[in-house]
Structure 1
Amino acid sequence: MERWNIARNHVKFYNNVAVTATYNVPRILLQQFGSRGIEGLVYAALKENLSRQPILGVTIDDEGSTVPRWRRLSSIDLREIVNVVSADPNASADGWVQNSHRTLFPTTGELPLWRVVVAFQESALTEEGSHVSFAMGFFAHHAIADGLSCAAFHLTFLDALNSLVESPSAGPSDLNEVAMVNVPNLPLIPTLEMKAKLSISILFVLLEFIKAFIYNPIDSLNWSGPPVNADHPRPPIASTRSFSLTPAMVSKLIAKCRAEKTTITSLVTVLTARKLALMYPDHKSFTGTVPFSLRKFTGHSPKDMGVFVTNVTQTFSSEANPSTKHMSGAPSPKGKLPAAVADDEKLWDSARAFKRHLDENTASTHNQHVNMLKFVSDYGSYFLGLLGTKRAHAFEVTNIGIVDGGVGGEEGKATFDRVMFSAGGCAYGEPYVVFLATARNGYMNAAIGWQSVVVSDEEAKDLLGYLEREMRGLVEQ
C-alpha cells in the first residue's frame, strides 16, 4: 500500500489527503507564547507529536523506482511546513482547505511528507473568555496516512496540547529555535501487510485478472463520467465544498439510522446514487465505492498512523426492477426528493441492503481488493496505463466516523468539536467523492470533492445541496 501511494504521487495522479479540526484551548496556554502565541503553541505541540508518531519524521528516497525507501530526517524546520492563515476557525474552512489541496505537495528532499495549515484570527487574543479557538488542517501524503490516520494525528496532537496544559512553561525565548526540531529515532510501526493476513482465493484472482486483461465489457448505460484524460492537469485541481450538521441534528440522524437498522454511511451512499440517477437520466446504473479500514485486523490502536484501507463496491440501478447484481438506487416518485418524500420505505430498504453488503464484505481480510497489489510489478506503469480508460466508479462515499475531541468546554483542557475530512482528487478517480466526519458530541461535516474538468461546478454543488436538504429533512420532520 505504501509503494502504491508513493508511485501514484510520483506520476502526479494524486496529491494529498487531509483532516481538519477546530480546537478550543485555554487562553492562558496561548498567552505563554507571547505575541507569536499561535506559532509557538503549534510548534511546541508538533514537536511533542513527532515523539508519538514515527512516520511524521520520514521522507522518500528513490521515489520513482519500484523499490522506494523511507529515510528518517535528522531534523525538521517547522517554519517550512506550518502556514498560518487569517480566517475564522468556526466558519467554513472550504476556501483554505481547497487551496491547500491544490498546492503541489513535495515528496522528496529534506521535508517530511505532511504539512499543517492553521486558521486563526489575531483578534481572538484580546477577546474575553477562558478559551481561544483555532482550526488546523493536517495534509499528508497518502503513503503515510489514510483518512483515519489523519484523524489519529489530531488525537495525538490533542494529547500534546493537553501535555502542555499540564506542564506549563514560560514559552520560547526565540521562536526560530523552537521551530527547529530534531527527529526522534523511533521505529516505524508495522505495515498492513506485516500485521494482517491478506489471503486471496484462486477464483478471485482469476476473475480480477480476466476483468483487467481479457474481457470486461463496457456498459454504455453505466455512468462514471468522462474517460481518464491525459490532458487534464496533474496533480488534479480539486474543488471542495462542505456543510455541517449541528450536534442535535447528528444525534437525531444517528438515532434514526439505528432505528432503521442501517448506518449514516449506507444512507448517504443510497442518497448519492438516487441523486445521480436524477442528474444523468440517460444512464441506468451508477457504481459506488466505499473505502473502509482494515486497522481492526492489524492490532494497531486508533492513534497509530499508517495506511490500512481498502474498499467495497456496489452498482445501483435506477430501474424499477433492478437485476440481482444491482441494488435499487431509483429516485422516488415524480423524480423529486423533497424532505417529505425522502423518508420513504424504499430508501430505508436500500440503505439496509447496502449495510448488509458492507458488513459481509468487511468481515475479514480475505479477498479484498488491496490483496491484489502484490500482483502489480510496476505501479507507475499501471497508473499511466489507465489514461484513456473508463473510470471504474461514479462516486465514492468515505466516512472516518466519530473522532473523539474530548468534552467541549471542559475546564482547563484543550478540545476540538469540528472535524472535516477531504482529499486533493485522483486523476483516475470517481467524479464525485463524498467525505463524512463527526466530532464526538460535536458537529458532523459532509464535504464533496470534484474536478471541474470531469464534472461541472454546478453539478457538484447540486449534489451537495441535495444531500444537505435530505439529511436535514430526515431530522427536521
Structure 2
Amino acid sequence: MDQFEKLRPVGRLEKYSTARHQIGFYLNLAVAATYELPKSFTLPVEDYVLRACASVISEHPSLSAIPAADDTQEPYFVRLPIIDLDKVVRFTQREHGIPRDVSPGEGDISPDLDLQAVFQEEHNTPFVAPNPYWRLHVLVDKQDTHKFTAALILHHALGDGGSAKSFHTSFLRALQTQTASDGETPRSVTSLQIPMLPNMEEIHPMPLSFWFLAKKVFQAKVYAPRDPGLWTGSKIQPPTSSRVRLVPFAQGLVERLRKACRQERTTITALIQTVYARSLFKHIPDQFFRLNCTGAFSTRRFLPDIIKEDSMGVFVADIEESYTRSAVAPADSTAFPWEEARRSRQTIQDTLDRKGADVGPNLLKFVNNYQKELCLSKVGKDRDKSFEVSNIGVVSSGSAPDQPSIQGMAFSQCASVIGNAIGVSVVTGGDGCLVLAISWQEEVVDDELINASIMSTREELRKLAGY
C-alpha cells in the first residue's frame, strides 16, 4: 500500500470492523433501493447509474479510501487515486421481476427474491485490496426498463447503515440532476484530494461513568455468570456463512402499526424488538426463558457540525435490552404485552439521552489486540446476545412525478461470528413499505427456527395492524 496516499489512522470503532473483516468474522452490510426513472430518461440504465456513481464518489471521500495494514494494531486509511467503475458496479438481469403487492388491502407484499439472492451472495464475499471496499450490485428488469434496484455493499469500517442510506440519498440527488446531454458516461473516477471525515474519538469524548466502567471490568475480569435460561444459538464458531431472508410489509399495514405505536406510546423499533422476542420464545425450547437483544443508533445527532446527518462514516453506538418469557410470552395469556414495547422504547430513549456516554464503543480504548481479544479468544464459547434489531429509519422518495424517485428499500447485514445469533435489519422505503432482513450464520441457528420465527412475526404484526 506504500504507493497510495496515506490519509489518517483507523479509529477505534472503525478498527473493530477492520479486524473482524480481516479474520473473516464480519464482512459487510448492504442497503438497496429501487429507483424509478421518468419516461423522459431515454438512455440505458447503465449510463445513469455510472454517472450517478461518479457524482457520489466525488461527494463522499470514504468511498475512495481503503484500510491498510489491517492485520496489525495500527491500521490506517489510504486513498485510491482512481476508482474503476467497471470493478465496483455490476449489472445483473432479474429472474423473478420486480415484486408487486400480493394484496395491498390485506397488507401482503411479495419478497424480492432476486435481491435476497444478491444479499446472500454479497454477504459471503469479502473485499480484497487494492480494490475499493464497496460495491454496487444493480438488478435490471427487461419488462420495466425505467426501474432498477441498486444494492450498495459496504465495508463497515467505511460506513454504518446510516452511511449506506446516505449513499442512496446522494445517488438519487445525482440522478435528479442528470440530463441526456451530460456527455460521455465515465468508466473511472479520479479521487478528489479532500480529507476523510474524523473518526468518533477525534470529535466526541466518548465518556464512561465510574459505575458503568466498574461493572464492565468486573464482568470481564472477575465474574460474569451466564444465565442458564439464556438462548443465543450455538457456540461461537468460524468461518461465517451468511443466510438472508427478506420479509416485507405493505404501506397500509405499516401505517396502521405506526398509529398503534403512537396510541400505545412506543415506537416501531421497540415494537419489532418485542414482537421478534415473542416469536422466538414460541419456537425455542421451554428451558430457555431469557433473550438478550442489542440495537444500534446513529450518534450523528450529538456530534459537531462537521458531521452531517447524511455524512458517510462510522458514527454509531449500541443499545442493550433483555426479554423474559414470563413478561413477553406468558403461557396464560395471548394478549400482546404493550408494556414491554413501552419499556423497550424507554430503554432506547434513556440511551439516547446519554448522548454517547456509557455505550459499548467507548470501551474499545482498553483493547490492545482487536483480533485476539475481541474475536479469536471467543471461539468455542457461548455468545452473550440473542438477536439484534437495527432500524435505519425512513427514506423519502423526495421528488416530483417527473423526477427519479426511490421506491422500495432493504437494509441487511452479514452474519457476525461473535455477534448476535440472529440479525434483524429494518428500513422503510419511499413507497412506505417496511422490510425486515433476517440474517443468521449457517449451523449457528437452524433454518427451521428462522422460518418459524418469521411466520410468527408476520402473523403478529398483521394482527396488531388489524388484518
Fold shared per TM-score above 0.5:
yes
* 1:89/1:119 contact within 8 Å kept: no
Tell me what 2:74 maps to. Answer: 67
Tell me what 1:102 maps to. Answer: 124
1:387 matches 2:387: no
Q: Which amino acid aligns with 1:397?
A: V
How many angstroms does 1:332 deviate by? 5.6
* 2:36/2:406 contact within 8 Å kept: yes
Unaligned 5+ residue runs, structure 1? 126-131, 320-327, 335-340
Task: Give a deviation string over 1:313-352, Cα, whole Å, max 9, x none.
Answer: 1221113xxxxxxxx2224647xxxxxx5xx3x5111101
CA distance in 1, matches of 2:21, 2:211: 31
TM alignment of 1:276-425, pairs within 5 A:
276-280=280-284, 281-299=286-304, 300-319=307-326, 328-331=327-330, 333=332, 341=334, 344=335, 347-363=337-353, 364-382=355-373, 383-407=375-399, 410-425=400-415
1:41 matches 2:48: yes
Q: After the TM superposition, which of the residue ranges 13-22 and 295-304 deviates more from structure 2?
A: 295-304
Percentage identity across paired residues of the two chains: 29
CA distance in 2, matches of 1:441, 1:124: 17
What is the aligned residue count? 435
Structure 1 pair 316/463, CA: closer, same or farther in 2 (3 Å)? same
Tell me what 1:13 maps to. Answer: 25
Q: Which amino acid aligns with 2:158?
A: I
1:464 matches 2:454: yes
Tell me what 2:423 maps to. Answer: 433
Unaligned 5+ residue runs, structure 2? 1-12, 100-111
How many angstroms does 1:222 deviate by? 1.2
The one of 267, 270, 287 aligned to 1:266: 270
* 1:242/1:446 contact within 8 Å kept: yes
CA distance in 2, matches of 1:208, 1:438: 35
1:119 matches 2:129: no
Tell me what 1:81 maps to. Answer: 88
How many angstroms does 1:249 deviate by? 1.6
CA distance in 1, matches of 2:311, 2:389: 23
CA distance in 1, matches of 2:64, 2:169: 17
TM-score (norm 1): 0.88
* 2:422/2:438 contact within 8 Å kept: yes
1:2 matches 2:14: yes
Tell me what 1:28 maps to. Answer: 40
How many angstroms does 1:440 deviate by? 4.0
How many angstroms does 1:399 deviate by? 0.6
Q: Which amino acid aligns with 1:13?
A: F
Q: Which amino acid aligns with 1:75?
A: I
CA distance in 2, matches of 1:100, 1:468: 26
Task: Give a deviation string over 1:12-46, Cα, whole Å, max 9, x none.
Answer: 111100101110112332x23xxxx2222211110
How many angstroms does 1:53 deviate by? 0.8
Question: What's the RMSD between the two structures over aligned residues?
Answer: 1.6
Tell me what 1:222 maps to. Answer: 230
* 1:86/1:121 contact within 8 Å kept: yes
CA distance in 2, matches of 1:8, 1:315: 25
Task: Give a deviation string over 1:181-217, Cα, whole Å, max 9, x none.
Answer: 1111122112222222311122222211111122111
* 2:317/2:356 contact within 8 Å kept: no
CA distance in 2, matches of 1:259, 1:417: 28
